[in-house]
Each structure stands twice: as C-alpha cells, then as structure tokens.
Chains A and B, each alone.
Chain A
Amino acid sequence: MASDPTHHSRRVRRLRQVMFVSALALLALILLWSSFGSGAWFGARVTSGPAQAEMIDAVMRGKNQQGKPYVLRAQVLRQRLETTSIYDMQAPDIELGTRRAKDRIQAQAQSGVYDQQTGNIVLSGEVELRQTGDRIIRAPEVDFNMQSGDFIVQGPLQMRSPARLISADLLTSTGNNKTHEFTNGVITLFAKGQK
C-alpha cells in the first residue's frame, strides 16, 4: 500500500515545529539556569522609582569563591541606584552550603544590607544563625561574608549547642579553619542530661 505524500509532509512539518519549540524551551532553560548560578536576582514583582528599584519575594542563587552553593531570599529587596551593587533587604534569609554539607550555614534577620561586589551582608535585628550540629547563634548584629563564610557577631551574643552555651561580647569566626574567637566569653558546659 502506497502512503499519502501530502500526509507525510504534514507530519514532517509538525515534527519540525515541535523540534523548534523544544530547542527554544531548552535554550530558555539553559539561560535561566546559568543566570541562577551567576547570582542574578529574581522576584515576584519589580517596581522602580527615581532613587531605587524594589523587588518583592526576591531570590538569588549562586556559588561562592569556594564553590559552595548559596541562596539569598528577601521579602523586600531594594537596590540603591546610586550604588547599584548594594541592596537593602527586609526579612533576609540566607543559606550557604548544601543540606548534606557538614558546614552549612543558615541565617535569618529582620533586616540586612547586601553588597554584591564584596559578598558582604550586614544582618541586624534578632539575628539567628544556624550551623550544622544543632548550633544556633543569636545576636543583634552579624556581619557575614558569603564568599568566604567568615562572620563577625556583635554582642551580647549567645552560641548554643546541645551540651554547651557560650555567651560573649564579640565573636570573630573564620569559615575555612572553623575557628571562633570570643571576647569576654563565658562557656557553660552541661553534663549529659543537663540543659
């Protein structure tokens, strides 16, 4: 039985269209993925005024100098137009490192200022910084660097873990060698079963 040549060419045309649309979708996906990795902001709504641009439910994903993935979130993000690398954040939420990583850091605060050029974030107002191993740092202000993982905590601060509570006036912490230096510190060591 001979096939209908017009029916065949119609099928080929449809296949070509599907391939073209698929290629476009794939290209869009690649572009979207690469922009996520490069540290661009995405938000639910963007408004811009004469002095600043504002984004609602802003999210930025990227990798730092050490190759650790990070996610920055803010309920409201405002870009200062006079210094475009600086963003003011409301309710910032930071994740550095994967969920399985042993040195993962999560931080939340009432507000923050992010300098995209240096990777530095100043978090303020009831800052809570969580590290792997059920360790929680609470302080009024934390100066956190996304690129290095280093942070400076202004006290009065508390670092709490299951068997230890450290209170101090100041904490300087380096991400690479996991060293924490406390000024005027007090460590309370709990025996098993104590809290």
Chain B
Amino acid sequence: MEVRFKLNGKEEEVTTEPYLRLIDLLRDYFNLTGTKEGCGVGECGACTVLINGRAVNSCLVLAGQIEGSEILTIEGLANGEILDPLQKNFLLHGAIQCGFCTPGMVLSASALLDKNPDPTEEEIKDAIAGNLCRCTGYKQIINAVKETAKEINSASKPF
C-alpha cells in the first residue's frame, strides 16, 4: 500500500506492506537509526517517536496506521545544528550514560512539555514511566526536564 505522511517536517510517500512496523520503516527504509528497539513489545520505550505530538512506541504501530500523520523522530528534534533545549539540558545534567534509551526518553519528555510546560516532578515521572533506563536511575533525566521547563517558563513570562 501507499502511505503519505510528514516525517521530521518533510512530506514523504512510501509503498510498503501495511503490516510493516513503523520502527522498521524508520530504521530500514529511512535509515533513521536513532529510534531503538529494546523489547519489541511496547514495554521499554526505546522506540518512542512522536505521532501528531503524542509519544508512541513505534514497535506497536504499523505502517498502515500512519497515513496523514506527522511523525517526529530524534533526528528531527534539533533545529539544524541548534539543539532543542531538552537536548541541551540532557547534556548539561549528565542525563545520558549508554544513550540507548536517550532518544525515546527525550521525545517522551518533549511531548510532555509541549502539553504541559510547567509539570510537577510527579508529572515528569509519569511522562517517562514508559521509558526504561538501566544506567541513570532517572534522577539526572528528571533534573534535565525540570530545568528545561524552568527555562521555557522564564522565557515566556513578560518582564
């Protein structure tokens, strides 16, 4: 079948089997290998991408389901060479160790901040509860998200 969708801001059209998983479409067809497969059953969140702004496990989505949607992968988050504030804060706070969960983790946090720019710590924990990380114990990740929220809020407030 033919599928049309927007991928990282660019219109795409592919011919694919409808049952191909979105993660395979991204990794094998578009060579967007920043999306990782950790479990294949929607438990670990390493394959998280944003579909119309929602954080979704791309191992549980089939190519036939994405017609007309907007997909954002980790490769599309930065604005060229300028990092997204979340990416910058992940670096500054030591929120990355092995880095395998990082793309999915950043995208889940990004979906949260788009909807809720001033989350509580519990809301941050909820938003990334579907993204497993074995290295960091999540603390520096949570700090990075908090700091980003703080920056967004101080930038958007009038003097």
- Binding between chains A and B: no
Task: Mark A residues whose CB is within 8 Å of B.
Answer: none
